[in-house]
Every structure is written in C-alpha cells, then in structure tokens.
Amino acid sequence: MNILSYMETHGHEQLAAWTDREAGLRAFIAVHDTTLGPALGGVRVWNHPTEEAALIDVLRLSRAMTYKSAAAGLHFGGGKGLILGDRSQKTEAMMRSFGRFVESLGGRYITTEDVGMTSQDLEWIAQSTRHVVGLPVSQGGSGDTSPMTGYGISMAMRACARARWGSDSLNGRTMAIQGFGSVARAMVKSIQAHGQEVSLVVTDINPAALEQAAALPGVRTVPPDQIYNTVCDIFAPCALGGVLNDDTIPRLKCAIVCGAANNQLLAPEHGDALQKRGILYAPDYIVNAGGVINVSCEVGATYSEQAAREKTARIYDTMQRVIATAKREGISTAQAADRLAEERLASVRKVRRVYMGRA
C-alpha cells in the first residue's frame, strides 16, 4: 500500500511511528487535521492481523475524529493513537513510553482513553506527557468518558425516533446491541434513567461481558453473528468499525442504526445502501461525540460535568439537522454529516487564509 498517496487523498497531515524494544511498545499516532485546533483523540490497543491493517485503522480513526470535533462544534482537530498488541500485555513501562511518544509531538496531538485502555494506563501515560485528558477525577481529570458518550447516543436515538416514529420516546422499542462494553452499558443506563423501557438483545465476543448482560432483567443474548439478523427497532453497533457492509446490510431487520462504534460503515457507499433499504443511519461520529465533548471541556477550563452534559445534549439538534439536510438534499445521512463537518472546516480554512494574506 502507498501510504503517502493514501494520506494525500484523505487529507492527512501526519503519521508518526514509535518503537521501544525495552518497553515492548510498537505504536502509531495519526494527526489528520489541525485546522480547528490540536488533534484530539483516544489511543486504542488492538492486535491487528498485519501492520498495514493497523495503519489503515489509525488513519481512518483519526479522520473520523476531525469530522467528529468539527460537527460537534469543538475547537479541536482529529487524531488517534494506536498501540499494537494485546491488552493483556500492557505494562507501566509501555504506557510511559507511549506518553513520551505523545510528548514528542509537542501538543499537536492530545491523547485520551479508547478501546482496550484503562484509567490506570492514562495515569501512567500522564507521567511522560502533559497532553492527556480524561484522567480520573482524583487526578484532576474528567474521568471515564463512557457515561457522557452513552448519554449522547441516547439523545441521538431520540432524534432518530422522532424522525422515524414521530415521537422522542423509546418506550417499548427493541434494541439489538453488538458489544456490551462500557459505552453500551452507559447507553442503556441513560435510556433507563429517563424512564424508558426497552427490550434488549445483546451479543459480545467476550463471555464475561455476555454474562453481565444476561444477568440484567429482560435481556436476551445471541451469538455474535446472529445480531445482524435480529428483528429489532434499533441496531446499536457498540464494538468495532466496518460492521456495516455488503454482507451485513442486507441482513439487517431494524428501522434505525445508532450506536457507539467508530467508522461503522466499511465504505462510504454503505451509507447509501442503508438509505436504499429504508434504514435511518445515525452517523457514528455525530452520535458518539459525547466522549470527546466531555474531555474537550478539560482543556483551557475547569471541567464542569453540567457544562459537558449541556454540550452533549446538543447531539439531539445536530442529529435533527443531519436528518433534515439528508431529506432536503436527497442524500444519505452519512453524506449530510460529512457536509456539515466539511462546511465548518472550509469556512475556518478560508478565514485563516484571509488572515494570513493568502486569499
């Protein structure tokens, strides 16, 4: 694969690689776009089958962060970190080394937690860099991002419910959840906290997570591959990306797709495929912005949960805007979301060029 051509085509500014044999660390950081501010995005630990798969993943995830922050109205660009390996192999030395990697970029990239990471890992990273957010509350950070992400998804679901069924209510709806991790659990909690009773069908590749789900009242569990065939109102992908593709879209039996996972569409045309099937797709980066909104409230201000919650609640309005644009322009919701983000980026770039006398 020609990495530089890929980066040029997709507007990536920078890709950095880091190895530390003593600490056992192999990692990438991708800085996609810093038009709106420093690149903000979590670091993920994942055992990709090849280095190329890992590279593509980190580049795609960083680009999604640019769009996410832009559409959410934040003053940050998009970036992502990736530690290659299994989460069971993580050590303090590895995390401190990753912190040095972040520090070496001089603030162009601000890191936080993502799949496979814990707050303990972030604490270790913070020993080597200042450019880290989402630390535990006891360390002066905003803590776990999952509750705010879960809350934001529940707000997006309500906007989708209004568009599809004429009411914000999720009461009596059936939701099929792929991946019962921290965000999925927070999402369910947030929905239930609003007095909404939903029937849940859950799958997970981790037996412990599945057991945890099965212990909840009214939850049915299914094997991982059966989640796509589950008859439901809302399908919530809350595990990994690429799950909406040629194989899975024809099998879906839902009215709405709305979930936490980043980069859910395997390719852009899968947004059109969902539209053709009459399924309302809630673009992932609009829906799951609660986490980044939460940590962004730490930078340059004293963190306030109330302020973060108010900003996150606006995901409802953003989702409504996306649906309205898609309807008006006859495009998919995925395209409408991209348009929203790209218009903001273009307008700021234009002002910057004028300011620098290059218009």
Q: Which is nearer to ligand NAD, 43 or 274 (CB)?
A: 43
Question: Considering the rule CB under 6 A, would residue 114 count as an interface residue with ligand NAD?
Answer: yes
Question: Considering the rule CB under 6 A, would residue 337 count as an interface residue with ligand NAD?
Answer: no
> Where does this chain touch ligand NAD (CB under 6 A) — which range of 164-172, 255-263, 272-280, 314-322?
255-263
Q: Closest by alpha carbon to 15, among 1, 29, 26, 2?
A: 29
Question: Considering the rule CB under 6 A, would residue 221 count as an interface residue with ligand NAD?
Answer: no
Q: Which is nearer to ligand NAD, 35 or 203 (CB)?
A: 203
Among 69, 142, 262, 312, binds ligand NAD (CB under 6 A): 262
Distance CA 65, CA 10 (A): 13
What SS3 class is residue 198? coil
What SS3 class is residue 242? coil
Q: Which is nearer to ligand NAD, 271 or 291 (CB)?
A: 291
Site string for ligand NAD, 284-313 (x = CB under 6 A): ----x--x----------------------
Total count of residues recorded for the chain: 359
> Where does this chain touch ligand NAD (CB under 6 A) — which range of 24-32, 76-84, 97-105, 141-149?
141-149
Q: Between β-strands 25-33 and 77-84, what pairing exists: parallel, antiparallel or unpaired?
A: antiparallel
Q: Which is nearer to ligand NAD, 183 or 244 (CB)?
A: 183
Q: Which is nearer to ligand NAD, 222 or 331 (CB)?
A: 222
Least spacing, CB of residue 87 vs ligand NAD, in Å? 9
> Binders of ligand NAD among 227-246, rule CB under 6 A?
238-240
Q: Which is nearer to ligand NAD, 156 or 209 (CB)?
A: 209
Other CB atoms within 10 A of residue 8 CB: 10
Structure tokens at 207: 């037996």
Distance CA 276, CA 283 (A): 16
User: Measured at CB, which residue is nearest to ligand NAD?
Assistant: 181
Least spacing, CB of residue 260 vs ligand NAD, in Å? 3
Q: Are 149 and 134 in contact (CB under 8 A)?
A: no
Least spacing, CB of residue 284 vs ligand NAD, in Å? 8
Among 16, 260, 341, 345, binds ligand NAD (CB under 6 A): 260
Least spacing, CB of residue 351 vs ligand NAD, in Å? 29
What SS3 class is residue 178? strand
> Binders of ligand NAD among 151-210, rule CB under 6 A?
178-184, 203-206, 209
Choose, from 68, 80, 90, 311, the residue flagged as catalytic. Answer: 80
Least spacing, CB of residue 184 vs ligand NAD, in Å? 6
Least spacing, CB of residue 238 vs ligand NAD, in Å? 5
Element (H, E) at 30: strand 25-33
Q: Closest by alpha carbon to 183, among 294, 318, 57, 27?
A: 294
For 191-200, letters b (16+ CB in 10 Å) and e give beeeebebeb
DSSP category for residue 292: H
Question: Considering the rule CB under 6 A, would residue 121 count as an interface residue with ligand NAD?
Answer: no
How many binding residues for ligand NAD (CB under 6 A)? 26
Residue 289 has φ and ψ, to the nearest 5°, of -75, -10
> Binders of ligand NAD among 21-80, rule CB under 6 A?
none
Q: Is 276 a catalytic residue?
A: no
* CA dihedral sign of residues 111, 35, 152, 278: negative
Distance CA 331, CA 323 (A): 10
Q: Are 83 and 98 in contact (CB under 8 A)?
A: yes
* CA dihedral sign of residues 254, 178, 280, 268: negative
Give me the residues that bind ligand NAD (CB under 6 A), please.
114-115, 145-146, 149, 178-184, 203-206, 209, 224, 238-240, 260-262, 288, 291
Supply the residues annotated as catalytic.
80
